[in-house]
Structure 1
Amino acid sequence: MKDKRILFVSSEVVPYLPETELSSTAFNSAKNAHSKGVQTRIFMPRFGVINERRHQLHEVIRLSGMNLVVNDVDMPLIIKVASIPKERMQVYFIDNEEYFKRKAVFTDEDDQLFSDNDERAIFFAKGVIETVKKLNWAPDIIHIHGWMASLLPLYLREFYKEEPLFTDSKIVTSIYENGFEGELNTDLTEKIKFDLGKSQKLSTLQTPNYTNILKSAIENSDAVIYGSESLSEEITSFIQENETPFLEHQIENLRDSYLNFYADLLSEE
């Protein structure tokens, strides 16, 4: 895997957000690959709770400045970057004042999901892809962590399917147990239709709950990794029914297990 390129895209990454199973695994999977000579890039949303001064975020002017269309509205894309101390790994932050400036991550003070989480997920997916295009950095593996990143496989397979930069990229999605209660905005599929048209793959998202968002990511990925020790029976059955290659939850030897899994995926014709 030395000199291969892996793009890590996560809703959460330590040390920028509190330590959870997801944020720690996303960080460690990137760190472990980086330590073995893999070229890595990490992308996450620039949530308003992230202390820019403490973590030394700065805007990358040459990457910022474009507008992304979300549901027929132009939304400015701002790209910020920071380096994880001691690791020499760059983290790119997808930012937009309307979507990410608020001092919260996914829910309001009453623990209710933000009504625009659907648009934030669309913006994040398109923002990552457009920024990687500007970098002209073709990843061998794209590894997805967290539900807010989970529309990215759908967009890569449908909206960006003619983009040559990603022709040979393999998509891996890590599936975690802890998600959210309830549903995102029920207009999610209508908003995605603005980009994709009447794609059959949108049927999975008609009810935009946590399970169905994961299913959408799974059916548009080349492989999945069990990020949590236990997953719902509905999700595990869906993975088996789709005959999606998977890696069981790893507690020990995570580095070699992940790298071997990536290598096996890349060796498949």
Structure 2
Amino acid sequence: MNGKKILFVSSELVPYLPENEVSLMSYETPRMVNSNGGQIRIFMPRYGNINERRHQLHEVIRLSGMNLVINDMDMPLIIKVASIPKERIQVYFIDNEEYFKRKATFTDENGTLFPDNDERAIFFAKGVVETVKKLNWSPDIIHVHGWMASLLPLYLKKLYADEPLFAESKIVTSVYGRSFEGELDEKMMSKIAFDGIPEEAISLLEKPTYNNLLKVAVDSSDAVILAAEELPEDLQEHIDKLDKPVLPYVSLQEFEEAYADFYTNKVLNATVK
């Protein structure tokens, strides 16, 4: 991985959120790349339940201040950063008062999905791309973890298809078993289509379930990692039909060599679709 630039984009990340399969692998994978001589950038949403004082988040003025248009609404983009001290890893946080101030990640105190989770996912995807453009940092690999980040492959391949910074970037999506019950907003498809993304690329989102979100993500990716021993049958069948590299599930204890080999020999050599 020496010298390779890898952008990690995740829904959740320890130590900022509680440990689960997504947040842990979203930490361990960049740590592995970092320790093997790779260059990394990590992005996640700045949820309101992240303790800014304890984790020493601070705003990056030169990266903040842009407005992103979400479903014909101007939404201000705020960028914050923090460091994971023991690993010397810097994390960029995508923030917006309307979408991320509330003191929870995906659901309210009753476990009900926030009604604007679809817009939060759109904002996060566009916010990551626009910030990386400002950083003028061209990644060799973009590795996506978690459903809140799952629109990024679609936006990169459709809305930002002509962006030279990402012309050679290969997109990897890790697919987890950790999902959500129910569906996101029924107008999600039209909100994405508002950005000029063709409806045939998002027809699955007529029913915006976890499985369909991840199907859209893997369809726009260059390679896929199975990050759970068991996936929903419907989603697994969709992945089995893909004509692109797929890494079968590897345990946390054995992932380092398998992921490094997959990046080097499969992802970087994959044909960009």
TM-score, normalising length: structure 1: 0.98
Q: How does 1:1-269 map to 2 (within 5 A)?
A: 1-251=1-251, 252-264=253-265, 265-268=267-270
Q: Is the Cα–Cα contact under 8 Å of residues 158 and 197 in structure 2 kept in the other structure?
A: no
Deviation at 1:236, TM superposition (A): 1.5
Residues 86-123 of structure 1: CA deviation (Å, up to 9, x unaligned):
11111000000000000011001111000000000000
Kindly provide the CA deviation profile for residues 180-231 of structure 1, in whole angstroms up to 9, marking residues without a partner as x.
0000000001100110243310112110000000000010001111111111
Distance 1:68 1:182 in 2: 27
Unaligned runs of 5+ in 1: none
- Range with bigger deviation, 106-115 or 230-239: 230-239
Deviations 1:214-264, CA, capped at 9 Å, x for gaps: 000010001111111111221111112122311111113211111110111
Residue range with higher mean Cα deviation, 11-20 or 253-262: 253-262
CA distance in 2, matches of 1:44, 1:6: 15
Aligned to 2:86, the other structure's residue is in SS state: coil
Please, which moves more after superposition, 224-233 or 127-136? 224-233
Deviations 1:55-83 (A, max 9, x none): 00000000000000000000000000001
Q: How many residues were matched structurally?
A: 269
**Secondary structure of the residue that 2:268 maps to in structure 1?**
helix
Q: Hey, what's the Cα distance between the residues in 2 that align with 1:186 and 1:74? A: 21
2:47 aligned partner, one-letter code: F
> Which whole-Å CA distance do the structure 2 matches of 1:197 and 1:26 have between them?
28
Structure 2: give runs of 5+ residues left out of the alignment.
none
For 2:268, the aligned partner's letter is L
Residue aligned with 1:171, SS? strand
CA distance in 2, matches of 1:162, 1:193: 18
Aligned-residue CA RMSD in angstroms?
0.9
- Give the residue type in structure 1 aligned to 2:156: L
The worse-fitting range, judged by mean Cα deviation, of 134-143 and 226-235 is: 226-235
Q: Distance in 2 between matches of 1:183 and 1:173?
A: 21
> Secondary structure of 1:16's partner?
coil
* 1:140-185: CA deviation from partner (whole Å, max 9, x where unpaired): 0000000000000000000000000000000000000111000000
User: TM-score if structure 2 supplies the norm length?
Assistant: 0.97
Q: Secondary structure at the match of 2:259?
A: helix
Write the distance in 1 (CA, Å) between the matches of 2:11 and 2:197.
26
